[in-house]
Amino acid sequence: MGLMVPISILFLSILIMMLLFKMGNPWKKNSKDFPPGPRPLPVVGNLHIMDLKKPYQTMLELMKQYGPVFKIQLGRQKIVVLTGYETVKEALVNKADVFAERAPFPIFDEYSKGFGIVFSHGENWRVMRRFMLTTLRNYGMGKRSMESRIAEECSFLVKKFESYKGKPFEFRRIVTAAVGNIIVSILLGKRYDYEDPKFIKLLSLATENNRLMGSPPMQLYNLFPILGYFVATRKKILNNRKELYAFINENFNQCFNNLDENDTRNFIDSYIVQQQQERKTQNNGYFNHKNLEESVLNLFVGGVETVASTLFWAFTLMMKYPLIQKKVQEEITNIVGYAQPGAEHRIKMPYTDAVVHEIQRYADVLPLSLPHATTVDATFKGYFIPKGTHVIPLLTSVLHDESQWEKPHEFYPEHFLNTEGKLIKRDVFMPFSAGRRICPGETLARTEIFMFFTSLLQKFTLQPAPGLSKDLDMTREVGFTITPNTYTLCALPH
């Protein structure tokens, strides 16, 4: 038995090398005009130099050596990496259509099968994105009705924090549940208690998949999908997806059975109505059940993970920098008093708004962005990039661009304040990416982050639990989105 693992690895290695030899050299065509990069090894490409736990760190090092546009080869896959504000802006904003496609990756393709919005392509992506944006606006995104929902959830979260009476507690699950209720109110028209076992399970599945998607085993699977049978992480992700789909379908059936076309109550209602209208005019449209399942899952996971991760950073940073926390609290007291903080207060609270912006910049929760692909053959920055080439806009290189930020590697709210203490908007600030594939829920996410942050700091001073160093370690955990180390905190009522 002891020889089985080495023999299987040797067999797979030989099989991969035979396939590669048969398929030829992927760099031969157009290699002269392709961006520079490290020399690849047979089979593995540049995998030997990559930090699979933090690949963005390796890319930042390669940027110093090869410049703002360079190539890496992972397995057989050639990837162009774009770094720095000027380069990323030129690609995603000025040449938005050229870089608008989503690059195929085995786990993404197996997970979504080309449906939904995040990992879909072509016309399916355009139709689903248009419907999603319209529906989000119809259910209050950017309107007072949505702010009222968020304010109500803030009050539930405040009461939950109060229930600990200043004693230490782990805040992540509670905050995730509060954020989850906002997107659930749009998708299903309901909210869950923070202790509801079904809701806890749902959130844990989404969180676990987020962590596993960014893990080293899944990166290896994406490079060598032939290994899929041996990767237990892949099986776990797909099993979690089945459970998430089961939850979606249970709610779909409830909505379908209680549908009133003249009084749609949530995203699923609106989708069913659109689906029925489409069936009257065409047989094989885009509003099928697979697109519904994946769109709902995209909204739920995307709507929870990025906002919750940002809030984890917000509360951790406030514990680490108590003087900044105190200054925020003073501004909340002076402007809001005892009223419920709302989006309308943001313009009157430049320091707090600057802190929120800086939290998003410093947190850098999606450092790699999601992989793009070119829609046509293109010449970019003097290099030839063929149609279908995988492209990574390295967002971390924008949010920490040394040519754009005064203190790029420090937490410094003054990045967003002028000499008069007023908020300044900066184009280099793109935590939600940019261009055609920018996060469709950006407006909702920004409102949530501001209102949850101010509602809690209005009522509590956040401190590390007794025994924890006040100089908290800012080490980043591994995952698809990046979170800080887990800490327990004490929420001391004012």
- Which among 351, 468, 462 is positioned nearest to 415, based on CA atoms? 351
Q: How confident is the model at residue 468 (pLDDT cuts 50, 70, 90)?
A: confident
Mean pLDDT (the chain) is 89
Residues 327 and 454 sit within 8 Å (Cβ to Cβ) = no
Residues 456 and 491 sit within 8 Å (Cβ to Cβ) = yes
pTM score, two decimals?
0.90
Residues 292-328 have pLDDT tens digits of 999 999 999 888 999 999 999 999 999 999 999 999 9
Q: What is the mean pLDDT of residues 114-133?
A: 91
pLDDT score of 145 more than 60: yes
CA angle 179, 175, 478 (to 5 degrees): 95
Residues 58-113 have pLDDT tens digits of 999 999 999 999 999 988 889 999 999 999 999 999 999 999 999 988 888 888 88
pLDDT score of 232 more than 50: yes
Percent of the chain's residues with pLDDT above 70? 92
Q: Of the given ranges (183-192, 218-227, 364-373, 465-474), which has the lowest mean pLDDT?
A: 465-474
Give dist(CA 325, CA 456) in Å, integer: 11
> Residues annotated as binding site for heme?
439
Residues 216 and 101 sit within 8 Å (Cβ to Cβ) = no
Q: Of the given ranges (5-9, 67-71, 228-232, 242-246), which has the lowest mean pLDDT?
A: 5-9
SS3 400: coil
Fill in the DSSP letter of residue 447.
H
Percent of the chain's residues with pLDDT above 90? 65
- Which among 125, 106, 115 is positioned nearest to 390, based on CA atoms? 106
- Which among 234, 217, 230, 224 is positioned nearest to 17, based on CA atoms? 224
Amino acid at 322: P
Amino acid at 483: T
As a dihedral over the C-alpha atoms of residue 439, residue 442, residue 444, residue 447, rounded to 10 degrees, the angle is: 150
Q: What is the mean pLDDT of residues 252-259?
A: 88
Residue of higher predicted confidence among 408 and 76: 408
Q: How confident is the model at residue 10 (pLDDT cuts 50, 70, 90)?
A: very low
- Which among 117, 111, 145, 146 is positioned nearest to 131, based on CA atoms? 117
Distances (CA, A) of 112 to 118, 186, 295: 9, 21, 9
Give dist(CA 483, CA 474) in Å, integer: 9
> Residues annotated as binding site?
439
CA angle 442, 446, 451 (to 5 degrees): 150
Residues 146-196 have pLDDT tens digits of 899 999 999 999 999 999 999 999 999 999 999 999 999 999 989 999 999
Residue 388: left (phi > 0), alpha (psi -120 to 50), or beta?
left
Give dist(CA 249, CA 252) in Å, integer: 5
pLDDT score of 5 more than 60: no
Amino acid at 240: N
Distances (CA, A) of 219 to 11, 13, 25, 107, 210: 21, 17, 22, 9, 13
Give dist(CA 104, CA 125) in Å, integer: 13
SS3 70: strand
Amino acid at 157: L
Residues 441 and 409 sit within 8 Å (Cβ to Cβ) = no
Q: What is the pLDDT of residue 31?
A: 57
Q: What is the pLDDT of residue 43?
A: 87
pLDDT score of 221 more than 90: no
